[in-house]
Amino acid sequence: MDSILVTGNGPLNGSIPIAGAKNACLTLMPATLLSDEPLTLTNAPRLSDIRTMTTLLQSLGAEVTSMQGGKVLAMSSHDLNNHTADYDIVRKMRASILVLGPMLAREGHAIVSLPGGCAIGARPVDLHLKALEAMGAELDLRDGYVHAKAPAGGLKGGIVDFPFASVGATENALMAATLAKGTTVLKNAAREPEIVDLADCLRKMGAQIEGEGTSTITIQGVDRLHGATHPVVTDRIELGTYMLAPAIAGGSVELLGGRRDLLEAFCQKLEETGIEITQTDTGLVVSNTRGRVKAVNVTTEPFPGFPTDLQAQFMALMCTAEGTSDLHETIFENRFMHAPELTRMGAKIEVHGGTAKVTGVAKLRGAPVMATDLRASVSLILAGLAAEGETIVNRVYHLDRGYERVEEKLGNVGAKIERVKGQ
């Protein structure tokens, strides 16, 4: 099993290109199931999760061709010959549940295994299922699979009132509603940029959607969708992660393709610590000219708030900040598993329920640590940039699910980082 070796090497300078969004691409790919015409995605990230979704779609009979080194995905679902998303594939990634809505809407039936993914809380799929039931779907959970069937004549428009904003459930319901008969209204819908990106793609395919980016989305169902070509939106989580690299290690780095509007709340918190952020014609420049940053408190919230997917990385920054910070996690339980690993590096962290109190230290120490999930893995790499000596991050298969060529991107701006191949 591969590891990542990081040695503290001083300030970072240069530029890092930001890839297309993993979470957006994993949502856009199942949209091919809604049409028998080709859907082509450009600016696709080159990640193991994308390969897993490719395998899943191919198992259903879809054709998926990777071009230009993986940055273009050409897909076609003109001949679906299987309606069961098997456990052996689905268990690897939570986003697999997103084939349920499209397949049910177009084919009228689907059998999808309950998903797996990172161990950061239960994250049940009940909101996905309740949304589909509001459109008339008949659902039966047995033997670890969701058996879904649309009523005669297909799904019907309905009112879906989410008890809280769920990104995945909003995406599944949005895709299903595009082919439902009549009007569907999604209330308390998620507002993330990935939702807006999905709606934009579906509209190119002929869907009638209004209100994406707000808490109420209205979809007028159509009889069929056609093909389209769509660029995947910039990955705001990769963007925020690499913005933290110069903040932690010092220096000035431009994140090519970066947009502040994707991460306004995060940018404001980073500026409160003393970091300078400048929008340019080509991206965002992040500079740390003060050395140790100031400690600030953070509360994770749904978009447009501070992203839960940047909490672990921000904690790494707070480990060497001046003062004490409180990080409140409100989205997922069990999402402080990186804290004990950071403590091995000399960090002072106390976790009480959904709050982590971090008292900054002058310097972290390199140590062998273990990645527990996707975002935790990269937080340990960031901490290694600011540590004395060598940090070896084990179990980085999590990392490869969400970050393409992290050692190359950080190495190009001056980090001393390498991948150590496992036996």
Question: How does pLDDT run across 142-200, given as a tens digit for each residue?
Answer: 888 999 999 999 999 999 999 999 999 999 999 999 999 999 999 999 999 999 999 99
Residue 174 and residue 81 share a domain: yes
Specify whether 318 is located in the same domain as 211.
no
Instruction: Report the distance separating Cα 33 and Cα 77, nearest Å.
Output: 6
Longest dimension (CA), the chain: 66
Q: Is the domain of 312 the same as that of 258?
A: yes
- Give a yes or no: residue 38 inside a domain: yes
Residues 66 and 134 reside in one and the same domain:
yes
Say if residue 117's pLDDT is above 80: no
**How many Å apart are CA 231 and CA 204, to the nearest integer?**
11
Whether the link from the prior residue into 304 is cis, omega within 30° of 0, is: yes
- Split into its structural domains, the chain has a count of 2
Q: Which domain holds residue 369?
A: 234-420
| Catalytic (active site) residue 319 | no
Binding positions are 22-23, 94, 123-127, 309, 331
pLDDT-based confidence at 423, cuts 50/70/90?
Answer: low
Clarify whether residues 106 and 177 are in a common domain: yes
Task: Round the average pLDDT of the chain to a whole number and report it.
Answer: 94
CA pair distance 101, 263, nearest whole angstrom: 29
Residues making up the annotated binding site for UDP-N-acetyl-alpha-D-glucosamine are 94, 123-127, 309, 331
Are residues 191 and 267 part of one domain?
no
Where b means 16+ CB within 10 Å and e means fewer, 192-208 reads bbbbbbbbbbbbebbbe
Tell me: do 120 and 242 sit in the same domain: no
Of 179, 205, 231, the position where a domain reaches its end is: 231
| Pair (93, 137) in one structural domain | yes
- State phi, psi for 127 to the nearest 5 degrees: -70, -35
The one-letter amino acid code at 193 reads P
Binding annotation for phosphoenolpyruvate: 22-23
Of 25, 118, 201, 267, which one is the catalytic site residue? 118
Strands of 348-352's sheet in order across: 298-299, 324-328, 355-359, 348-352
- Section 80-103 average pLDDT: 94
CATH number at residue 304: 3.65.10.10
219 within 8 A of 155, measured Cβ to Cβ: no
Q: In this structure, how many other beta carbons lie within 10 angstroms of the beta carbon of residue 280?
A: 11
pLDDT recorded at residue 93 = 87
Strands in 97-206 per DSSP E: 109-113, 138-142, 145-149, 159-161, 183-187
Does the pTM surpass 0.75? The reply is: yes
Type and span of the H or E element at 418: strand 416-420
The pLDDT assigned to 222 comes to 98
| pLDDT of 325 higher than 50 | yes
Q: pLDDT: is 391 or 372 the higher one?
A: 391
